[in-house]
Structure 1
Amino acid sequence: MTRHLRGLTFVPEKKVVLITGASSGIGHATALRLADEGHHVVLGARRTDRLAALAETIREVGGSADPHRLDVTDPDDVTAFVDKAVEKHGRIDVLVNNAGVGLLSRLDSLLTGDWNRTIDVNIRGLLHGIAAALPHFQRLGAGHFVTVASVGAHEVMPMGAVYCATKYAAWAITEGLRLEVDPSIRVTTISPGIVESEIVDSITEPDVRETMRAFREAPISADAIAAAISYAMSQPPDVDVNELVIRPAGQR
């Protein structure tokens, strides 16, 4: 169901927020919520038809959004995505590194193509975003990186060895970034549990796909994660929300 945006007047500071993987799931929900709160959202994903529809939904109720085709595995593409936003708006305030894939499989299935795709999107895509945005944040003396990781960053599940490894890497890279950058740049990791998404549809092994459908029978909404991102963003400049873990109350 489409959320109805509530208006823009109550927002004290409008930020330019870049969101990768914005065409569905958490990215889509985050774009709606942040636009609802008065921020300008720059939408990146490969499925341009969905991005265009999302941007139109936001604009129809007075929000502002720019859609851009984006492949996070291509460093030049990510750099252009960030640089164009800076050129148009004069700055960027937040980068939500949300794009990710969950190509789950048993290791003995030897789906090396899926392994490489997972590494390329979940790790290299994150690094490309950091490399593109960090110089702009350093120049401005302010900025906020938000990484969408997973509870898989903290535990390993059967059929998820490679996925969990990439999400642990995303957590480690983001934590390392927090330790290294000037405190004027805030860094947050969001680790969702079972959330409404299309992740199951991307699984190539039929048995694993059906197992995961059963496992994911009681997800929370993607907007619950969007709300956590909004919360981290809304804190005063001297408050850095380092990590939030959000999952269904019944998830063990």
Structure 2
Amino acid sequence: MNTQQSELPEQAGRKVVIVTGASSGIGAAIAARLVAEGHQVVAGARRTDRLRALAERTAEAAASSGGGLQPVRLDVTDRADVAALVQATRERYGRLDVLVANAGVMPLSRLDSLLVDEWDRMIDVNVRGLLHGIAAALPVFTTQGSGHFVTVASIGAHQVVPTGAVYCATKYAAWAITEGLRQEADPSIRVTTISPGVVTSELADTITEPGAAEAMRTYRAHAIEPDAIAHAVSYALTQPADVDVNEIVVRPTRQR
């Protein structure tokens, strides 16, 4: 990331936002919406080609809104990588207002399939990745006396389904960590959990177990678009400073 100093002037409602997992799906939709609303978005993910394409797609909206999107390669499982991104963002823009912890993976499988490497990957991305973001941004928010954590969890944080034991466990952990952060953090720091239901995304593409993949095709027959989740994030960010939206659950009307 280019750390050349170019502080962003404070303007009412305009925020500096890091979005992880921004290369596709919900993360890309969140980044695009926030750029269109005039925010400066630092979009982090491993697939930098996707991020560059996202920057191109949002360039017109950025020009008209005064926002912007900076693509940055990021691996949330690397604690030093996350810390460096937060530091570089603060150096470049003078502050960090929001961290949207969206990066996640979902290779569902039955426990008796013993796909331990995939379990480890979910724990690394969905849980450790979130903790790395908190560890990097919390001191910044505390020093500033303001900041907003937004965690993208899942409806899986509230229910367990066959093939989803480990995934749901990681998302419950994400919910629990974020709720604990809300209770412990200084009142000047806002904390929000967004729990999506079935959303059109690439998450299911990582499923390698045939039975789980087939079940997911049926389960995802009725899905909402990622911008529905982006809209929920926007709602949480635009509330007055004394209003903390703790959790929003968003799912298709046909998902029961």
User: 1:27-80: per-residue Cα shift (whole Å, max 9, x none)?
Assistant: 000011000100010000000000011112222341411110000000000001
Aligned to 1:78, the other structure's residue is in SS state helix
- Separation in structure 2 between the aligned mates of residue 30 and residue 17 of structure 1, nearest angstrom: 10
Aligned mate of 1:240, from 237, 244, 247: 244
Q: TM-score scaled to structure 1, two decimals?
A: 0.94
Q: Show structure 2 runs of 5+ residues with no match.
A: 1-10
Name the Cα RMSD after superposition. 0.9
Q: Structure 1 vs Structure 2: percent identity of aligned residues? A: 67
Alignment correspondent of 1:79: 83
Alignment correspondent of 1:26: 26
Alignment correspondent of 1:170: 174
- Separation in structure 2 between the aligned mates of residue 27 and residue 20 of structure 1, nearest angstrom: 7
Tell me by how many angstroms 1:13 deviates: 1.7
Residues matched between the structures, number: 242
What does residue range 176-215 of structure 1 map to in structure 2 within 5 Å?
176-215=180-219
- Separation in structure 2 between the aligned mates of residue 181 and residue 77 of structure 1, nearest angstrom: 24
User: 1:103-144: per-residue Cα shift (whole Å, max 9, x none)?
Assistant: 100000000000000000000000000000011100100000
Aligned to 1:50, the other structure's residue is in SS state helix
Alignment correspondent of 1:53: 53
Assess if the C-alpha contact under 8 Å between 2:13 and 2:238 holds in 1.
no
1:64 partner amino acid: G
Alignment correspondent of 2:39: 39
User: 1:165-205: per-residue Cα shift (whole Å, max 9, x none)?
Assistant: 00000000000000001110000000000001001110011
2:49 partner amino acid: D
Tell me by how many angstroms 1:213 deviates: 1.2
Alignment correspondent of 2:105: 101
Structure 1 residue 148 and structure 2 residue 176: aligned?
A: no
Alignment correspondent of 1:115: 119
Aligned to 2:100, the other structure's residue is in SS state strand
- Separation in structure 1 between the aligned mates of residue 58 and residue 143 of structure 2, nearest angstrom: 30
- Separation in structure 2 between the aligned mates of residue 77 and residue 173 of structure 1, nearest angstrom: 21
- Separation in structure 2 between the aligned mates of residue 48 and residue 206 of structure 1, nearest angstrom: 30
Alignment correspondent of 1:15: 15
Assess if the C-alpha contact under 8 Å between 2:43 and 2:69 holds in 1.
yes
- Separation in structure 1 between the aligned mates of residue 132 and residue 139 of structure 2, nearest angstrom: 12
